Amino acid sequence: MAAPLRVLVTGAAGQIGYSLVLQIAKGDVFGKETPIVLVLLDIPPMAAVLEGVQFELTDCALANLTGVEAVTNEKDAFTNIDYAFLVGAMPRKEGMERKDLLAANVRIFKSQGKALADFAKPTTKVIVVGNPANTNAFICAKYAAGKIPSRNFSAMTRLDHNRASAQVALKSGVTVGNVKNVIIWGNHSSTQFPDVSHAKVTKSSGEVDAVSAVGDAEWLKTGFISLPSQTVQKRGAVIIEKRKLSSAMSAAKAACDHIHDWYKGTPEGVFVSMAVPSDGSYGIPEGLIFSFPVTIANGEWKIVQGLELNDFAQEKIAVTTKELLEERDEALAACGESKQ
């Protein structure tokens, strides 16, 4: 048997963490043939809850789960890990300004970036789920630099990608497995741009472009993007309103999809959405953690090049880029550093 992968989940006692750890443990991400050790991290007041999660995972009796470690300090959590799902973050509370939320999360992700540099393998791959995910990933990568390359850091926009694909499928009268190449551009926030102009839908007559399959160009520019009842941008807020809790099951599934594709690769002719450090593609400032369409092979992502962007798309992308630049600068200020 191969050496097990050490897989860290932070915020493991929380709602998303509870949904996430079983999906990882039973092989949905790395395959049922891949042995793994799950490392569960949460804050000390959650130690008893964390131990309960550990007991449940043991009770699942999963053949490929070779160990479960419940820890409450960064050294034990980050030592020699192969993959990190950074879920734990400070949630926005009533009356909290965005700058206050950014400042609180900068402290968390600055510390975790340093822990990655001090204790993790240089090959560790990281997905940031905790919001504001793009900017948290930027800060984490910054403080792990020198040990772990920036391209090993990503933020999750796969939930938005999955939501958009599902909406296109519903509107087209097909199952979601017949939709491919939807794109989420930009920030994991209400400024993100869900783009179907390059997407394809397979119908009984064959593969067609998604715009034709949906048959409602106006909806694709309005309801599809932002109306709460059918939304991609604001879907999370609608779920909170209805459940009185944030998205957990779907967020956990999306995190698993994200890392599964990073580990296994994307099929030929298929691209997915990942927030990754920009290399300047599509005019996005270099280094900004921005959601792009990517293909993945041999554990390495590559931004899809040469996609045509119409005026509507460029306008939407400009808005989300502006927000990310503002977030980045506020986060750096909270670190006591100037814009870089």
Catalytic residue list:
188
**Annotated binding residue 129:** yes
**Annotated binding residue 98:** yes
**Annotated binding residue 14:** yes
Give me the residue label for tokens 């990608």: 161
Bridge partners, residue 209, by sequence: 200
In the chain, the largest separation of any two C-alpha atoms, in whole Å, equals: 58
User: First-to-last CA distance in the chain?
Assistant: 45
**Annotated binding residue 15:** yes
Vertex 144, ends 140 and 148: CA angle to 5°? 120
Q: Are 323 and 187 in contact (CB under 8 A)?
A: yes
**Annotated binding residue 131:** yes
**Annotated binding residue 11:** yes
Other CB atoms within a 10 A radius of the CB of residue 119 amount to 17
Bridge partners, residue 36, by sequence: 5, 65
Q: Is 154 helix (H, G, I), strand (E, B) or coil?
A: strand
Q: Are 181 and 270 in contact (CB under 8 A)?
A: yes
274 phi/psi in degrees, rounded to 5 = -140, 140
**Annotated binding residue 92:** yes
Q: Name the binding residues for substrate.
A: 92, 98, 131, 163
Q: Name the binding residues.
A: 11-17, 42, 92, 98, 105, 129-131, 163
Q: Name the binding residues for NAD(+).
A: 11-17, 42, 105, 129-131
